[in-house]
């Protein structure tokens, strides 16, 4: 959903840190009714011209869209979900300008199945029970997953071509982190560099890609007006 003006007309705003709370929306005048206004939803964040609704954040948290960190409170988990959703919106704004690849149906289904397996194991309940409590449907869950996968593909497609690795970087990783991890796992011997060079190349490349993704995301954030509304 986009258009701050439309959202402000329909939904009440919660107070933002450092900002005065916005008034709740008023219903259209009616001579037949004087019932008090009812807030149907609230705005969790505004990213440029796009709005993130509180109901969506509650659903994403309720279905366990992101793995929960050990000991993480409900409030901290919600804030992390919201931060991730803001990042998705920033990237989606770029995706809309250029277009991207649609994930295959079987790939989406596999990702949904993996999510279902994780949350069912974590909570000891069926997915249908979890979805019902979150006020979400299987179709919405699949849409959340599909959206995330499309953005992942777009980001990699955009940034991967610029990621290069050198033999010196691979050797440094082999002599450092690779050996340290082998020792931590209790391995008595470490494979020769030549046997694992391509595996190391992928690891180093992915690490460099992650750094570039973070840099690009921060650049998008600096160019976009982002408001986070506190509950």
List beta partners, residue 45.
52, 228
* Per-residue pLDDT at 38: 79
- Rounded distance between C-alpha atoms, residue 138 and residue 126, angstroms: 12
With b for 16 or more beta-carbon neighbours within 10 A and e for fewer, the 159-168 pattern comes to beeebebeee
Q: How many helices (H) and strands (E) does the chain have?
A: 9, 4
CB-CB contact of 228 with 16 (8 Å):
yes
Dig out the tokens for 229 from the structure: 């509304």
pLDDT tens digit at each of 231 positions of the chain:
444 333 333 333 333 333 434 434 445 555 555 677 777 899 999 999 999 999 999 999 999 999 999 999 999 999 999 999 999 999 999 998 887 678 999 999 999 999 999 999 999 999 999 999 999 999 999 999 999 999 999 998 899 999 999 999 999 999 999 999 888 888 888 899 999 999 999 999 999 999 999 999 999 999 999 999 877
What's the token pair of residue 17?
Answer: 């840190």
pLDDT in the model for residue 89: 96
Please give the domain boundaries of the chain with CATH numbers for all domains.
Answer: 4-228 (1.10.4030.10)
What's residue 32's pLDDT? Answer: 52
φ and ψ at 219, to 5 degrees? -65, -45
């Amino acid at each position: 959903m986009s258009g701050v003006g439309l959202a402000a007309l329909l939904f009440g705003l919660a107070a933002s840190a450092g900002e005065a709370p916005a008034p709740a929306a008023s219903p259209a005048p009616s001579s037949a009714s004087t019932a008090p206004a009812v807030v149907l939803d609230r705005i969790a964040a505004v990213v440029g011209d796009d709005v993130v609704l509180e109901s969506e954040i509650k659903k994403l948290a309720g279905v366990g869209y992101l793995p929960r960190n050990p000991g993480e409170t409900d409030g901290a988990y919600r804030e992390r979900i919201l931060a991730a959703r803001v990042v998705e919106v920033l990237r989606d704004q770029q995706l809309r300008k250029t277009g991207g690849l649609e994930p295959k149906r079987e790939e989406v289904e596999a990702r949904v199945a993996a999510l279902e397996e994780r949350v069912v194991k974590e909570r000891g309940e069926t997915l249908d029970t979890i979805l019902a409590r979150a006020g979400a449907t299987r179709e919405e869950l699949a849409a959340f997953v599909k959206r995330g996968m499309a953005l992942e593909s777009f980001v990699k497609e955009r940034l991967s071509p610029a990621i290069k690795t050198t033999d010196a970087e691979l050797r440094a990783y082999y002599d450092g982190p690779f050996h340290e991890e082998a020792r931590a796992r209790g391995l008595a011997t470490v494979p020769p560099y030549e046997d694992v060079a391509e595996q190391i190349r992928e690891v180093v490349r992915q690490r460099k890609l992650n750094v570039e993704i973070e840099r690009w995301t921060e650049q998008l954030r600096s160019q976009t007006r982002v408001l986070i509304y506190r509950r």
